Amino acid sequence: MGSSKQRRGNTRQRIQDVALELFAEQGYEKTSLREIAEQLDVTKAALYYHFKTKEDIVVSLFEDLTKPIDELIEWGREQPSTLDTKQQLIERYSLALAGAAPLFRFMQENQATMRELSIGEMFKDRMTTLLDQLLPPDATMTERVRCFSAIFSMHAGLFVLKDVEGDPEEKRKAILEVATDLITQAHRAD
């Protein structure tokens, strides 16, 4: 089957792939639809057959991401607020991140843009909820900082360490270890 056959029926997916790659690499605003279309060897209008707007492409990318996180939060809600639960939460979060690394890179590096995108607020809500599950009740400022630091370091970590030599999985483990330490320190048994 030739390349034109392969293209049948999965153009939408291909748009998402290329878009994510370019958005992550160059930023959302700097990536034009012309560029995406050219890389796919279709016309700009074809993109509009599959997505209503440029923003719609981003939204569709985040839909795949939102579900695992929502499930994670849901799972957390059903558990007792113990240290063990928290440690499991960020371990699972670490895995979720690893599974959607380019998307997180995009988010991390385009925060100004995210704020204007409809998806931005949505994502911020998730983060706030997750943070709440990691915090003790009536947390002190320092405890707050430790928790947000744990989460944010995980977000940034994957890309910042790109330049550092070493196995990706080893890096992830190292980040997870530090994050676990942070939330452990922030945990207070009542």
Contacting positions for a copy of itself (CB under 8 A): 26-30, 106, 108-113, 115-116, 140-142, 144-146, 148-149, 152-153, 156-157, 160-161, 164, 166, 170-171, 174-175, 177-178, 181-182, 185
SS3 10: coil
* Listed ranges 4-12, 75-83, 88-96, 176-184: which one lies at the site for DNA (CB under 7 A): 4-12
116 binds DNA (CB under 7 A): no
Query: What tokens does 135 get?
Result: 């915090």
Q: Which of 6, 43, 118, 140 binds DNA (CB under 7 A)?
A: 43
Q: Are 64 and 100 in contact (CB under 8 A)?
A: yes
Residue 128 backbone dihedrals phi, psi, to 5 degrees: -60, -45
SS3 137: coil
Measured CA to CA, the distance from residue 121 to residue 176 in angstroms comes to 26
* Listed ranges 31-39, 80-88, 110-118, 181-189: which one lies at the site for DNA (CB under 7 A): 31-39
Site map (CB under 7 A) of DNA, residues 50-69, x = contact: x-xxxx--------------
17 binds DNA (CB under 7 A): no
Measured CA to CA, the distance from residue 100 to residue 159 in angstroms comes to 12
